[in-house]
């Protein structure tokens, strides 16, 4: 999506979005020869062309994602109250809503991957038939050896009803290897009384590796039957919390791909998230992400 951030007359445009923010952190932290693609659908307008050029300049491809004549990106604006942010969206006709409209292209894009990451927002923006097409393709990717990773990232305004959201998210969890939810979202949608209760519910769906994020509180990390609260890194004066959870996800997944165990990966992810809240916008510079990850 196009991202507008700032205030008054001082606005700047960038490119961001929950899944892209996660991939951005992964691209920064993985070796240069790691293949990283953002699978979506794109328009052919000047903003879409600039979007793809921006990604390409950072080593991020688009695999076999369709480029659709006449389509355009979604748009959102960030407004801040101190360091806390709120968003205004314009995405009803965003090209990304068509990411699963070409099943063969989607299958080619996800084939042979070591890891595939998607979110509840990915599910929410799709028409029901396309949502099922995506989930079916993820099943095939998993059979081909991909780790399927999922952040439910519940946004009520994107769903027709909470019941629809719960049904789709439960279906996604049934094929998920690594779940990276945020506790307030889980509490809102499923009524979990604590992060530990959220962990237990997710285990009930067969997910074997879970990190329940909770802002500045510990991340409850479960693996091989053991759950540990991994303390967050305290930031005395955060500037902008946009993208912190997404960057946590990206750092966690990069650490796992690099062979680190989940509990150590969560520690590194907290350090990266703490660095991200000290810069404006969703995408922190690569050198900041790398320094935080190295610790």
> Would you name the residues annotated as active-site residues?
246
| Whole-angstrom distance, CA of residue 281 vs CA of residue 164 | 31
Rounded-to-integer distance, Cα 250 and Cα 173, Å: 19
Which of 46, 44, 3 lies closest to 21 in space, CA to CA? Answer: 3
Q: Which of 151, 149, 99, 166 is nearest to 127 (CA)?
A: 99
Tokens of 214: 């909770």
Can you read off the two tokens belonging to residue 131?
A: 């949502």
Residue whose entry in the numeric block shows the structure tokens 């930031």: 235
Separation CA 149–CA 70 (nearest Å): 32
């Amino acid at each position: 999506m196009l991202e507008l951030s700032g205030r008054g007359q001082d606005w700047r445009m960038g490119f961001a979005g929950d899944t892209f923010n996660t991939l951005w952190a992964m691209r920064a932290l993985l070796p240069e020869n790691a293949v990283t693609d953002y699978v979506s659908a794109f328009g052919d307008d000047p903003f879409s062309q600039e979007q793809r050029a921006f990604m390409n300049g950072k080593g991020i491809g688009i695999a076999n994602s369709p480029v659709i004549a006449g389509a355009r990106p979604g748009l959102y604006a960030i407004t801040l109250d101190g360091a806390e942010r709120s968003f205004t969206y314009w995405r009803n006709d965003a090209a990304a809503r068509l990411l699963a409209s070409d099943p063969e292209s989607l299958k080619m894009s996800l084939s042979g991957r070591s890891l595939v990451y998607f979110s509840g927002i990915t599910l929410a923006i799709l028409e029901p038939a396309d949502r099922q097409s995506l989930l079916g393709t993820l099943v095939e990717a998993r059979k081909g050896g991909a780790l399927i990773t999922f952040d439910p990232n519940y946004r009520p305004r994107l769903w027709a009803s909470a019941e629809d959201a719960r049904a789709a998210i439960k279906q996604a969890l049934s094929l998920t290897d690594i779940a990276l939810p945020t506790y307030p979202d889980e509490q809102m949608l499923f009524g979990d009384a604590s992060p530990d209760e959220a962990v237990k519910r997710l285990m009930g769906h067969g997910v074997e590796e879970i990190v329940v994020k909770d802002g500045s509180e510990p991340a409850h990390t479960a693996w091989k039957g053991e759950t540990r609260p991994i303390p967050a890194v305290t930031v005395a004066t955060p500037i902008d919390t946009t993208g912190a959870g997404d960057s946590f996800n990206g750092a966690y997944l990069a650490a796992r791909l690099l062979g680190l165990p989940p509990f150590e990966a969560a520690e590194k992810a907290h350090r990266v998230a703490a660095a991200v809240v000290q810069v404006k916008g969703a995408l922190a510079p690569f050198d900041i992400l790398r320094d935080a990850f190295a610790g």
